[in-house]
């Protein structure tokens, strides 16, 4: 079951439990007006660093969800959970088998009403996510469409995530994907490090995810919130 508890999210900050973040930065991020804090990373995510960051974000009233990307990092107590599936890999581990193992281990504890599958299309070959998952990331706008149809129209995944982690993506491809969607909520993430890039992504994506710039340039990160909200 998925009642889209995240349907109203327009702007999201993604924090990586593996990375250090000081209290002042976390305060600014959680009070920025963003719709949610999503914890996730493609490597080095453990139970301990996830619990630690969750406890710190819990001081604020902002929604806090977990993108479960390692078996060790499945932690109770979040407002919601996303389970990623990499659609553009031929390695069955990242397409389905890791997720199956997760359910074999934790299935009895999953809050189904607050858990959603996210169909990832990973498009930056240089990203950790692409390398870890062996994604076939070099796709044109035309190549990407069958993955979109598979994710949205055949499998009815509630979230389709266009992932350029670390690099700003092709906005014409994003527009093409948006135009093809029947029911999935379109998440975009990758390389947003300014208000202008955030606004460009918000033209097409339902939900804009901002990650690395939080650690590189806090003011630029904060500026993305209003840029996305202005597009509503």
Ligand X SMILES: O=P(O)(O)OC[C@@H](O)CO
Could you list the residues that contact ligand X (CB under 6 A)?
A: 14, 163, 165-166, 189-192, 209-213
Binding at 114: pick from ligand X, Mg ion, ligand L4TTDIOY, none (beta carbon under 5-8 Å per type)? none
If one asks whether residue 57 binds ligand L4TTDIOY (CB under 6 A), the answer comes out as: no
Cα–chain center distance at 14: 7
Sketch the per residue contact string, 96 through 135, with ligand L4TTDIOY: x for CB under 6 A, - otherwise.
--xx--xx--x--xx----x----x------xxx--xx--
The closest of 129, 115, 179 to 149, measured between CA atoms, is 179
Q: What are residue 68's DSSP bridge partners?
A: none
The closest of 76, 72, 155 to 115, measured between CA atoms, is 76
Q: CB nearest ligand L4TTDIOY: which residue? A: 102
Q: Kindly tell me which residue out of 46, 166, 199, 226 binds ligand L4TTDIOY, with binding defined by CB under 6 A.
A: 166
Q: Is 36 helix (H, G, I), strand (E, B) or coil?
A: strand
For residue 22, give every residue at least 6 positions away whose Cβ sits within 8 Å of its Cβ, in sequence order, or none: none
Q: How far is the CB of 189 from ligand L4TTDIOY (least distance, A)?
A: 8
Q: Kindly tell me which residue out of 32, 34, 42, 50 binds ligand L4TTDIOY, with binding defined by CB under 6 A.
A: 42
* Terminal-residue alpha carbon distance, the chain: 28
If one asks whether residue 69 binds ligand L4TTDIOY (CB under 6 A), the answer comes out as: yes
Q: How far is the CB of 83 from ligand X (least distance, A)?
A: 14
Total Cβ atoms within 10 A of residue 142: 9
Q: How far apart are CA 65 and CA 82, in angstroms?
A: 8
Binding at 34: pick from Mg ion, ligand X, ligand L4TTDIOY, none (beta carbon under 5-8 Å per type)? none
Q: How far is the CB of 173 from ligand L4TTDIOY (least distance, A)?
A: 18
Sketch the per residue contact string, 182 through 201, with ligand L4TTDIOY: x for CB under 6 A, - otherwise.
--------------------
Q: What is the per-residue DSSP string for 173-202?
A: HHHHHHHH-SS-EEEEES---SHHHHHHHH
Q: Kindly tell me which residue out of 88, 151, 165, 207 binds ligand L4TTDIOY, with binding defined by CB under 6 A.
A: 165
What's the DSSP call for residue 154?
Answer: I
Taking the C-alpha atoms of 75, 60, 164 and 161 in order, what is their torsion angle to the nearest 10 degrees? 70
Judged by CB, which is closer to ligand L4TTDIOY: 36, or 74? 74
């Amino acid at each position: 079951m998925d009642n889209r508890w995240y349907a109203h999210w327009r702007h999201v900050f993604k924090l990586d439990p593996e990375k250090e973040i000081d209290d002042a930065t976390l305060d600014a991020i959680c009070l920025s007006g963003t719709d949610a804090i999503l914890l996730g990373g493609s490597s080095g995510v453990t139970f301990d660093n996830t619990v630690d960051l969750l406890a710190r974000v819990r001081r604020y009233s902002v929604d806090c969800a977990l993108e479960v990307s390692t078996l060790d990092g499945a932690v109770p107590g979040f407002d919601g959970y996303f389970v990623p599936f990499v659609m553009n890999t031929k390695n069955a581990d990242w397409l389905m088998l890791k997720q199956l193992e997760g359910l074999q281990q934790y299935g009895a504890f999953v809050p189904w009403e607050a858990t959603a599958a996210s169909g990832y299309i990973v498009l930056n070959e240089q990203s950790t996510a692409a390398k870890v998952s062996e994604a076939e990331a070099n796709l044109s706008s035309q190549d990407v469409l069958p993955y979109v149809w598979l994710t949205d129209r055949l499998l009815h995944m509630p979230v389709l995530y266009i992932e350029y982690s670390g690099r700003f993506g092709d906005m014409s491809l994003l527009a093409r994907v948006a135009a093809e969607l029947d029911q999935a909520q379109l998440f975009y993430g990758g390389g947003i490090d300014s208000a202008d890039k955030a606004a460009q992504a918000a033209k097409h994506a339902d939900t804009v995810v901002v990650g690395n710039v939080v650690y590189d340039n806090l003011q630029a990160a904060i500026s993305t919130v209003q840029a996305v909200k202005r597009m509503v």
